[in-house]
Amino acid sequence: MSGRVERIWLKRAKRGNMDEIREVRVEVGKGIVGNVDQGGWRQITIITQERWEELMRELGVSLDPSSRRANLLLSGVDLAHTGGRVLEVGNARLRVRGETRPCQLMEQTVPGLRGAMTRGWGGGAFAEVLTDGSIAVGNTARWVDEGSATCKP
């Protein structure tokens, strides 16, 4: 089963705006070219359209997914408990390193959002880049290792 890249955002400055773009380059050891967050395990942040819509229904609000401040919005891919798994997005491979924990900015956006996001991987996942490549809106996103995932607490 495969999913799709729905939207892409780039953050050019700490706490800065999320700029929506159609395509990004990713590099091993760095992450998204031009994104402020570079290196480490948290090179790319990912949310899913389905989980975001669940959160909006739960809270009775309608926010654009860019409010989450993630880099990629995917559909058709379940991120819950996927730590250690490899996701092929476009022609790049990303290793999910864990669950993205929501910060205080989420609570400032909508009261209750931060708490809702702490359940069921509602904040999405973070990943490191394993292969250089390009990711564009409309690209396929699929798991390349159908083995068991390891969840990091």
Domain count for the chain: 1
C-alpha 82/C-alpha 151 separation (Å) is: 6
**Domain for residue 48, yes or no?**
yes
**Domain for residue 92, yes or no?**
yes
Confidence at residue 152, expressed as pLDDT on a 0 to 100 scale: 39
Confidence at residue 147, expressed as pLDDT on a 0 to 100 scale: 47
**Domain for residue 132, yes or no?**
yes
Confidence at residue 67, expressed as pLDDT on a 0 to 100 scale: 83
**What CATH number is attached to the domain comprising 119?**
2.40.33.20
Confidence at residue 104, expressed as pLDDT on a 0 to 100 scale: 72
**Domain for residue 16, yes or no?**
no
Confidence at residue 111, expressed as pLDDT on a 0 to 100 scale: 78
**Domain for residue 148, yes or no?**
no
- List the domain range (segments joined by +) for residue 56: 2-9+23-143
C-alpha 125/C-alpha 45 separation (Å) is: 6
**Domain for residue 88, yes or no?**
yes
Confidence at residue 110, expressed as pLDDT on a 0 to 100 scale: 77
> How many C-alpha atoms does 72 have within 13 Å on its Cβ side?
37
**Domain for residue 102, yes or no?**
yes
**Domain for residue 18, yes or no?**
no
What lies within 8 Å, CB to CB, of 141 at 6+ separation is 2, 3, 4, 5, 74, 76, 77, 87, 88, 89
pLDDT tens for the chain, residues 1 to 153: 799 999 999 988 777 788 999 999 999 999 999 988 778 888 999 999 999 999 999 989 998 898 888 999 999 999 999 999 999 999 999 999 999 887 777 767 777 787 888 888 988 999 999 999 999 999 999 999 754 444 433
Confidence at residue 84, expressed as pLDDT on a 0 to 100 scale: 95
